[in-house]
């Protein structure tokens, strides 16, 4: 996610500019029959059950209980408690809660992880990894600070957030990089062939450098540049790149994207999970266009926020609506995917295309005129 100088607020009307569909306006849905009180009560009870499950999973990740069950399948609650030096009763309560939440199955008198849960909750290298979301939604920056400032609307920026929040964002965003690089990029016709010839790839809003490392490893013929407006993130990325043995292939630049200037045109510029946070999205788009070689690609990887009322009530839509509570505090909102088509067309890009990676991850791409 993009980091940079403290925001000064966006110009009036930015959410409705140029008829770009925004997150404050979703298309009305088809009317449905009025639900009964019993149906509404069941729906609310389901929301409470979901909250209980989130707390159970997050506790299991944080305490190491899920990891222990993965490494020691079939262990009973008492065996888990003894081996981990935890309270017997508390562990038995957690195991029942985990079974009820569907993350544990029974095996004799003991417990095992339910199918695929080891990958989904523990394997940070998997494109399907979801374990980073549970610590993220429990951080105060997501809901608590929003509620505390509901009257004032006080904003914050990334340098006001806690280290735990930054670490949680890093964990939750990792699978977006894993899916995009190289698999997502390989779906763009002609891009892999161009990168095979070498050239420059720029990761804008590179954060702590996860994407930079993936790019350098996936495209060894290319030189990689990371740009971010937050010096702490650049310092962290520099350490990560050095530890990966890639310092000779990766250049880091601390600059707001609105001011970005590159000395060599790029074959590819990507933005992962940050385009919606630009203080001036038009200025950033123009900077990116100017930094690309003729025919160069710009790839936006982001949340595809629903553009309809029906979409808001899907499970992905509800999760992304939760993300909006944090985004509002930094004075932006996630955008519908189609907003990027309109943005790129407005700035003269050609060959627009897009594809979904997951229900909560979409890729939009286009090229500069050749």
Pair (111, 186) in one structural domain: no
* 76, 95, 122 - which closes a domain: 122
- List the structure tokens of 317: 């839509």
Has residue 227 been placed in a domain?
yes
User: What integer pLDDT is reported at residue 22 of this predicted model?
Assistant: 53
Higher-confidence residue: 185 or 24?
Answer: 185
User: What integer pLDDT is reported at residue 23 of this predicted model?
Assistant: 54
User: What integer pLDDT is reported at residue 15 of this predicted model?
Assistant: 41
Please provide the average confidence, as pLDDT, over all residues in the chain.
Answer: 93
CATH code (residue 92): 1.10.10.10
% of the chain residues with pLDDT over 90: 86
Give the confidence band of 368 by pLDDT, cuts at 50, 70, 90.
very high
CB atoms within 10 A of CB 167: 15
pLDDT tens digits, one per residue of 110-162: 999 999 999 999 999 999 999 999 999 999 999 999 999 999 999 998 889 99
Has residue 92 been placed in a domain?
yes
The pairs formed by 336-339 with CB atoms below 8 angstroms and a separation of 24 or more are 336/21, 336/22, 336/23, 336/304, 336/305, 336/306, 336/307, 337/302, 337/304, 337/305, 337/362, 337/364, 338/21, 338/307, 339/20, 339/21, 339/22
Has residue 330 been placed in a domain?
yes
Has residue 165 been placed in a domain?
no
Pair (187, 256) in one structural domain: yes
pLDDT at 3 > cutoff 70: no
Number of domains in the chain: 2
pLDDT tens digits, one per residue of 100-123: 999 999 999 999 999 999 999 999
Higher-confidence residue: 27 or 23?
Answer: 27
Name the residue range of residue 346's domain: 176-367
- List the structure tokens of 327: 């985004």
C-alpha pair distances (Å), 189 with each of 127, 171, 185, 353: 21, 30, 9, 10
């Amino acid at each position: 996610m993009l980091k940079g100088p403290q925001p000064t607020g966006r110009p009036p009307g930015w959410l409705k500019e140029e008829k770009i569909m925004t997150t404050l306006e979703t298309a009305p849905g088809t009317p449905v029959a009025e639900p009964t009180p019993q149906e509404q009560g069941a729906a609310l009870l389901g929301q409470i059950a979901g909250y209980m499950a989130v707390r159970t999973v997050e506790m299991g990740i944080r305490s190491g209980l899920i990891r222990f069950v993965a490494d020691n399948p079939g262990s009973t609650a008492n065996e888990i408690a003894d081996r981990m030096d935890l309270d017997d009763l508390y562990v038995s309560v957690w195991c029942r809660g985990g079974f009820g939440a569907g993350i544990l199955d029974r095996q004799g008198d003991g417990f095992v992880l339910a199918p695929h849960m080891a990958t989904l909750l523990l394997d940070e290298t998997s494109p399907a990894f979801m374990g980073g979301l549970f610590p993220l939604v429990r951080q105060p920056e997501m809901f608590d600070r929003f509620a505390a400032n509901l009257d004032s609307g006080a904003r914050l920026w990334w340098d006001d957030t806690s280290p735990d929040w930054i670490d949680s964002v890093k964990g939750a965003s990792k699978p977006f990089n894993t899916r995009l690089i190289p698999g997502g990029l390989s779906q763009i016709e002609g891009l892999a062939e161009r990168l095979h010839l070498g050239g420059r790839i720029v990761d804008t809003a590179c954060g702590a450098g996860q994407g930079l490392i993936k790019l350098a490893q996936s495209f060894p013929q290319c030189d990689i540049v990371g740009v971010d407006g937050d010096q702490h993130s650049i310092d962290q990325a520099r350490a990560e790149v050095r530890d990966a043995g890639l310092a000779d292939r990766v250049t880091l630049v601390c600059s707001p994207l609105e001011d970005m200037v590159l000395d060599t045109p790029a074959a590819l510029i990507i933005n992962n999970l940050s385009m919606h946070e630009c203080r001036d999205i038009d200025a950033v788009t123009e900077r990116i266009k100017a930094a690309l070689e003729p025919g160069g690609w710009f790839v936006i990887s982001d949340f595809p926020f629903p553009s309809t009322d029906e979409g808001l009530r899907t499970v992905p839509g509800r999760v992304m609506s939760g993300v909006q509570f944090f985004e509002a505090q930094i004075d932006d909102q996630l955008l519908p995917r189609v907003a990027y088509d309109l943005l790129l067309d407005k700035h003269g890009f050609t060959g627009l295309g897009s594809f979904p990676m997951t229900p909560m991850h979409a890729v939009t791409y286009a090229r500069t005129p050749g």
